[in-house]
Amino acid sequence: MKLLAVRRLLRIQSVVIRYRLDDLIFEDLPLLPWWLRALRFLLPWRWLPRRPLALTRGARLRLALEDLGPIFIKFGQILSTRRDLLPDDIACELAFLQDKVPPFDSDLAVALIEEQLGVSIAQAFSRFDRQPLASASVAQVHAAQLKTGEDVVVKVVRPNLKPVIRQDIAWLFVIARLAERLSSEARRLHPVEVVSDYEKIIYDELDLLREAANASQLRRNFEGSSLLYVPQVYWDWCRPRVLVMERIYGIPVTDLAALADQRTDMKLLAERGVEIFFTQVFRDSFFHADMHPGNIFVSTRQPWSPQYIAIDCGIVGSLTPEDQDYLARNLMAFFKRDYRKVAQLHIDSGWVPAETKVNDFEAAIRTVCEPIFEKPLKDISFGQLLLRLFQTARRFNMEIQPQLVLLQKTLLNIEGLGRQLYPDLDLWSTGQPYLERWMRERVSPRRLLQDLKAQVEQVPHLAGMTRDLLERLSQPHAHDPPPPWHRRDERVLRAIGSLLLIAAGSLLLTAPAAWPAWLMGATGFYLVVRR
């Protein structure tokens, strides 16, 4: 494994040299720190004669990322959505990484599909196009028709991806651990946890059965919706490396000319993109986390009421109820410009040290955020905003939350897409009404009754847990020092105690004399207040 990792590092270095990527880094020398400018003269290949390349800088970067494989291609996909941060020539080239990565051999694709399905292509499909419709970092897609007449697409995973991904991930871990060891600034960003989360995401994306399940769930969440359509999955023909789903016919979301030709309501389209994001995150806690333009189309049916079409659900994210609540309260305070509440929420949640002075933190947040309100996307310098946010985070020792990194990536994609579709979009006035409605619904009598019902349904299980706890507490060694698992799960036991109190209260409302309810309540109270 170590030998393979070294070979991979040499491979990366050779690609950097071949496409002169170091020239891109050193183009703006005055903007670089002195030590990085000095590094330029220590690179041995820069002292060798080199013939000029007949390629633009954008093409060099794109080809280099293609050569280096999935992880680098995905990085390029993210960059391609940020035309406010990149020169146009580079952004346009990187856009090819969304669905126009060079395909692998069609004969090999057919062989892989037949191996996975266990039948020949002719037995599975009445028609199969050997020329791929699209090709991206992890898989490529072929058009086909089932024997029953439905038009479908067949997605097949590229061969031999795991060894390359494994080596790249290994080097990412080396860099992350080294950074944490050498820099307190890096420790604040939790790079090892971020890489660990990314490792799970990229390996999950190689399992097309997982993607099929994600697509089915997302389709169910938006069944009958005018906002988003998700193609149907044909489960009988799905395997770990092959996915068959309904073929959709729409306009790529980046084809602004075609959208204009059919008189698409671009303002409504951009606003619906924001609403879809909030709906997935807060209503469903299940969001498409790879929404780069190559995965999004627009239906041609009703351009005056445009509907999005989402494909490629290999990466999805979800939030815990606690993260949902924290995020919603932060956003609402932000929308209302209540910077003191934003500061206090960060302190209460532990995102910044408890000793942070709330007044100083409030003033810093106000300084960063106030200039961007009441401005359309086109007038917001996202690069400057990011820089100031990082400076504020560093000043107050704010920690990055790894569980929200996927959400932040998705938000970057959505914001970049909105900037292309309708630059006059006001993110704040678009998002605030939806968030206010969601927060009202959370405390509505109907929602509270549903939560209470869910708690009552757990009563039989909680009663069993109560009996086990009481038996453990009555044993002779109950007062000995608790085992390690007990110390780690102290918060879990207190949560169980809270549930017991709620369940006991529910039972007492219907049967005040029920002794199990009083027993559950007493046990719950003990678990909540125990030291």
Q: What is the DSSP string of 180-219?
A: HHH-HHHHHH-HHHHHHHHHHHHHHHT-HHHHHHHHHHHH
Could you tell me how far CA 189 lies from the centroid of its own chain?
Answer: 17
- Do 427 and 466 lie in one domain? The reply is no
Residue 308 clears pLDDT 90, i.e. is over it? yes
187 in any annotated domain: yes
- Do 461 and 386 lie in one domain? The reply is no
What is the pLDDT, as a whole number, of residue 221? 95
Each residue of 291-300: pLDDT tens digit? 877 889 999 9
What is the chain's alpha carbon radius of gyration, rounded to the nearest angstrom?
27
DSSP-based three-state secondary structure for 100: strand
Give CA separation, 52 vs 18, 60, 233, 352, 422, in Å: 11, 12, 49, 50, 40
d(CA 281, CA 268): 20
What is the pLDDT, as a whole number, of residue 19? 76
pLDDT band at 251 (very low <50, low <70, confident <90, very high): very high
Each residue of 418-441: pLDDT tens digit? 778 888 877 777 878 888 887 777
pLDDT band at 208 (very low <50, low <70, confident <90, very high): very high
209 in any annotated domain: no
Instruction: Supply φ then ψ for residue 310, to 5 degrees.
Output: -110, 135
- pLDDT, mean of residues 488-514: 55
Residue 53 clears pLDDT 80, i.e. is over it? no
Give CA separation, 164 vs 72, 77, 85, 177, 393, in Å: 11, 18, 29, 20, 34
275 in any annotated domain: no
- Do 430 and 471 lie in one domain? The reply is no
- Do 346 and 423 lie in one domain? The reply is yes
Sole residue written with tokens 């100031």: 388
Residue 91 clears pLDDT 90, i.e. is over it? no
Residue 31 clears pLDDT 90, i.e. is over it? no
The region of weakest confidence among 157-171, 336-350, 438-452 is 438-452
d(CA 230, CA 182): 46
What is the pLDDT, as a whole number, of residue 454? 62
- Do 523 and 478 lie in one domain? The reply is yes
Each residue of 165-183: pLDDT tens digit? 888 888 788 877 877 776 6
- Do 339 and 431 lie in one domain? The reply is yes
Domain interval for residue 91: 2-98
Q: Which residue, of 442, 457, 472, is where some domain finishes? A: 442
- Do 343 and 414 lie in one domain? The reply is yes
The residue among 49 and 326 whose pLDDT is bigger is 326
pLDDT band at 485 (very low <50, low <70, confident <90, very high): very low
What is the pLDDT, as a whole number, of residue 514? 52
Strand 250-252 to 125-128 pairing = unpaired
Instruction: Supply φ then ψ for residue 202, to 5 degrees.
Output: -70, -35
First to last CA, the chain: 48
- Do 436 and 339 lie in one domain? The reply is yes
Each residue of 350-370: pLDDT tens digit? 777 888 888 888 888 888 888
Q: Which residue, of 182, 203, 224, is where some domain finishes? A: 203
**Average pLDDT of the chain?**
78
222 in any annotated domain: no
Please, what is the angle between helix 70-80 and helix 57-68, to 10°?
140
| Residues forming a β-bridge with 309 | 229, 297
458 in any annotated domain: yes
- pLDDT, mean of residues 271-288: 89
Residue 443 clears pLDDT 80, i.e. is over it? no
287 in any annotated domain: no
The residue among 205 and 179 whose pLDDT is bigger is 205
Q: Which residues contact 448 (CB under 8 A, 6 or more apart)?
A: none
Q: Which residue, of 98, 124, 143, is where some domain finishes? A: 98
Q: Which residues contact 89 (CB under 8 A, 6 or more apart)?
A: 56, 57, 58
- 2 neighbors 50 (Cβ within 8 angstroms): no
pLDDT band at 473 (very low <50, low <70, confident <90, very high): low
DSSP-based three-state secondary structure for 292: coil
- Do 431 and 353 lie in one domain? The reply is yes
Each residue of 210-239: pLDDT tens digit? 999 999 999 999 999 999 999 999 999 999
What is the pLDDT, as a whole number, of residue 488? 45
29 in any annotated domain: yes
21 in any annotated domain: yes
- Do 408 and 463 lie in one domain? The reply is no
Residue 502 clears pLDDT 80, i.e. is over it? no
- Do 432 and 333 lie in one domain? The reply is yes
Give the single-character DSSP code of 284: I
What residues are annotated to the active site?
A: 290
- Do 330 and 438 lie in one domain? The reply is yes
Q: What total of structural domains would you count in the chain?
A: 4
The region of weakest confidence among 36-50, 66-80, 247-261 is 36-50
What is the pLDDT, as a whole number, of residue 80? 75
The region of weakest confidence among 114-123, 258-267, 387-396 is 387-396
Each residue of 370-391: pLDDT tens digit? 877 767 766 766 556 665 766 6
